[in-house]
Structure formats: C-alpha cells, structure tokens
Amino acid sequence: MNEVSEALWDKVIAVNVKRPVPAHRGNWLRMAADSGGSILNVSSIAAIRPNAHQLPYAAAKAGLNTLTEGFARAFAPTVRVNAIQAGPFLTDISKAWDLEAFAERARTTIALGRGGEPDEVVGAALYFASAASSFCTGAVLRLDGGVR
C-alpha cells in the first residue's frame, strides 16, 4: 500500500467514479427526453472482495456501485441504470498474469474453479440492455464464478 502514490489514487478514482458522471449525464438527458433506455456500468468483484494490492481500484469500483444505485433512483422511471460486477475474466488484461498460478489459485478461490471467458458476460449485458430487464434498475450483478 505504501507504494501507491496520491496521483495514482486520483487517477483511478477519476477514471472509475468521476468520469461516468458527465458521460452518463448526456445520455440520461437524451434518454429521458426520448423514450428512455438503459445504462450499464462495469464494476468489479474487487468492490466487495478487495485485496491489499488493489485498494484504489476496489474503492473506485465500490463508488461506481453506489453511483449505479443512486443514478437508478435519480433517473427513474425512464432510464434504468445497472451494473455488472465482474470477477476475473480471461481478456487481454489476463495476458499479463501468470496463468499457471492463476489457474492453481482459481481452483480454491473461485467456486467454478476458473476464470470467465469474455463471451460469458454477453448474456448478462444483453439482459440489462433489453426489455427483458424492464423492471430492473439499481442492480449490481455479481458475475464472478463464485469468488470466495
């Protein structure tokens, strides 16, 4: 934790908490004036299962979860706001991981025993974007394979 600079804290908070506000504001205004819509935030399991090496990121994603719920109330009933709280997915970022060590750790720390594949998030995203979720706002869906 000592190696995390204030500048890094500020950058992580800015990207994950501050940036969605102005980005969403324009969308909400258009959606609210038109026929409504759905906004989907992407959070992280780190928001509720932080470790010492990712505290700025975990705090930022916890803030995004809070904003998701608050924005859902603020912009209802025409705009729905939800989030997917992703666990470890084997995307481009995982190329920097020691995948052998990750696989070993996943067997004991993830109920499904593995990381997620990118196509496994599609169904959840489509649900939130579609009329199927017309009675769903302020939800933060854990999509993490059962991270313990």
143 vs 140: CA distance, rounded Å: 9
Nearest to 41 by CA among 144, 139, 147: 139
Nearest to 68 by CA among 123, 131, 144, 140: 140
Residue 36 burial class via C-beta count within 10 angstroms: exposed 0-12, middle 13-18, buried 19 and up: middle
- Token couple for 127: 């649900």
- The owner of tokens 């608050």 is 70
Active-site position among 57, 75, 127, 128: 57
Query: Is 127 among the residues known to form the active site?
Result: no
Q: How many CA atoms lie within 13 A of 87 on its CB side?
A: 21
Question: What are the catalytic residues?
Answer: 57
